[in-house]
Amino acid sequence: MKPNIVLTAAFPAVARDLLANDFEVVEHPTEQSRSEEEMITILADADGAITLLSDPLTRRVLSSNPNLAIVANFAVGYNNVDIEAAREIGIVVTNTPGVLTEATADLTMGLMLAVMRRIVEGDAEVRATGRCEWEPLKLLGSSLQAKRLGIIGMGRIGSAVAARSYVFGMEVVHHSRGRGMPLEELLATSDVVSLHVPLTAATRHIIDRDALAMMKKGSYLINTSRGPLVDEAALCDALEAGHLRGAGLDVYEDEPAVNPRLLERKDVVIVPHIGSATEEARNGMARIAATEIVRFFRKQPPLHAVT
Ligand code: DGY
């Protein structure tokens, strides 16, 4: 009998193609905010699964099916998985690092440019008026040149952002696992702060009210990592008070919901968690996730194990 593999969303076709010969594949429609009960139901007959970053893979879910042997999470982040429980139960968990580094770094630069050069405001104005009027004082933003970029988390993506930022003439400093510049100094002296750490108990609200107060007046915050790194209510207060000049956000504290206070602000550029949304990156992620499943059932070691 072929092992059952559950795809909890419509992933790029390459995943199904790689699994087609050796497995019974069941694909579910892409859905946000699944409950534990829904997860237990869709994983009931699974020997393995490719899962979404929003699927709650809690201890209860992971222990609900004794046949579930591998979860290939379709993301580099795996904060949706109870890793300790997976380890204890003996379920292999894998992720998809590397292939989305450049795409996420590109989007980080896109958000930086969009918010600092007020690109979205300009787009809205031209669409609303149907005109392009040149004015000496219109939509004045901030240059990237000679600004200090403070990168929190100098891993693959943080380093790729640094490489791009040098080309824009920025000075780059970083804080990473206790290395580099002390966090307080980075916050107090950077013109732009960009977040590239994973979400863990230690990094949740790393940008809280105190951290925001420490940030330089008139600086910008960019987040393409995970929403709960930032206390969004405190961020809205800092923007409203004019302490921060703007923010570029790809991720939100309560995804899929977005704080309505953010939606009202012209100084915030908001996109829907699209850091890895290039054909190249998403195909690469699908290939990695499916390959992990194939290797597991051939008794080969995982390439990207997080357990
Ligand atoms: C990830 O991989 O963790 C991103 O958030 C989505 O690609």
Query: The domain spanning residue 151 has which CATH number?
Result: 3.40.50.720
Other beta carbons less than 10 A from residue 148's beta carbon: 17
Residue length of the chain: 307
Question: What are the CA-CA distances from residue 111 to residues 18, 62, 161, 221, 281 (Å)?
Answer: 34, 36, 12, 10, 18
The dihedral over CA atoms of 258, 262, 268, 273, expressed in degrees to the nearest 10, equals: -10
Compute, in angstroms, the gap from residue 285 CA to the centroid of ligand 1: 9
In a domain? residue 201 = yes
Q: What is the CB-side half-sphere exposure of residue 239 using CA atoms within 13 A?
A: 21
Q: Is 0.85 topped by the overall pTM?
A: yes
Strand partners, 213: none
Within-domain flag for 303: no
Q: Is the shortest distance between the CB of 76 and ligand 1 below 6 Å?
A: yes
Q: What is the pLDDT of residue 46?
A: 98
Per-residue pLDDT, 178: 83
Q: Which residues contact 221 (CB under 8 A, 6 or more apart)?
A: 192, 193, 194, 195, 207, 212, 215, 230, 235, 244, 246, 247, 248
In the block, tokens 């013109």 appear at 191
Mutate to test the pocket of ligand 1, among 104, 197, 274 (most ligand atoms within 8 A of CB): 104
User: Is the same domain home to 176 and 236?
Assistant: yes
> Which atom of ligand 1 is least distant from the CA of 282?
7
> Which of these, 276, 280, 303, lies nearest to 291 by C-alpha position?
303
255 carries an active-site annotation: yes
Whether 221 is in a domain gets the answer yes
Q: Do 139 and 230 fall into the same domain?
A: yes
* Torsion angle defined by CA atoms of residues 62, 66, 68 and 73, in that order, rounded to the nearest 10 degrees: 10
Question: How many domains is the chain partitioned into structurally?
Answer: 2
Q: Ligand 1: distance of its center to the CA of 146 in Å?
A: 30
- Containing structural domain, residue 187: 101-270
In a domain, 306, yes or no: no
Distances (CA, A) of 57 to 34, 49, 300: 10, 11, 24
Cis peptide before 256 (omega within 30 of 0): yes
Same domain, 86 and 229: no
Q: Using a 6 Å cutoff on CB, does residue 195 contact ligand 1?
A: no
- For each of the chain's 307 residues, which pLDDT tens digit applies? 999 999 999 999 999 999 999 999 999 999 999 999 999 999 999 999 999 999 999 999 999 999 999 999 999 999 999 999 999 999 999 999 999 999 999 999 999 999 999 999 999 999 999 999 999 999 999 999 999 999 999 999 999 999 999 999 999 999 998 899 999 999 999 999 999 999 999 999 999 999 999 999 999 999 999 999 999 999 999 999 999 999 999 999 999 999 999 999 999 999 999 999 999 999 999 999 999 999 999 999 999 999 9
What pLDDT, on the 0 to 100 scale, is given for residue 274? 98
**Residue showing tokens 């004019």:** 242
Kindly give, in sequence order, each residue whose CB lies less than 8 Å from that of residue 156, ignoring residues fewer than 6 positions away.
Answer: 97, 98, 101
Asked if 124 and 63 sit in the same domain, the reply is no
Answer whether residue 60 is part of any domain.
yes
64 and 140 in a single domain? The answer is: no
